[in-house]
Homo-oligomer: A and B are copies of this chain.
């Protein structure tokens, strides 16, 4: 996973609206306009948030009739999960090591 990919991932998560979109589309199916109806902002603004999530490989868009269905991207979400798990593990180790050092003194 390249540094640029990681950049895009964290950047995509750095907005509450986008985090909410990810939560919703990993459970159910939403069209872009279906999502747009949920937030106090324009359709175009939501469209842009979805585009950011697509670029970060967290969601996919699939055309169905005149609608565009947004779904969680399993592969991307799993990559994200593994990345966060890795970070979590590294920091847990470090926290333990620091605790040990403090215990020595």
Contact = CB atoms under 8 A, between A and B. Distances in A.
Interface stretch (A34-42, A43-51, A62-70, A89-97): A89-97
Contact of A10 (B13, B77, B88): B13
Interface size grouping (class) on chain A: 20 to 34
Q: How many copies does the complex hold?
A: 2
Contacts of A81: 87-88, 91-92, 95
Interface in A68-105: 72, 74, 77-78, 80-81, 84-85, 87-88, 90-92, 94-95, 98
Nearest to A80: B91
Interface string A1-31: 0010011001101111001000100110000
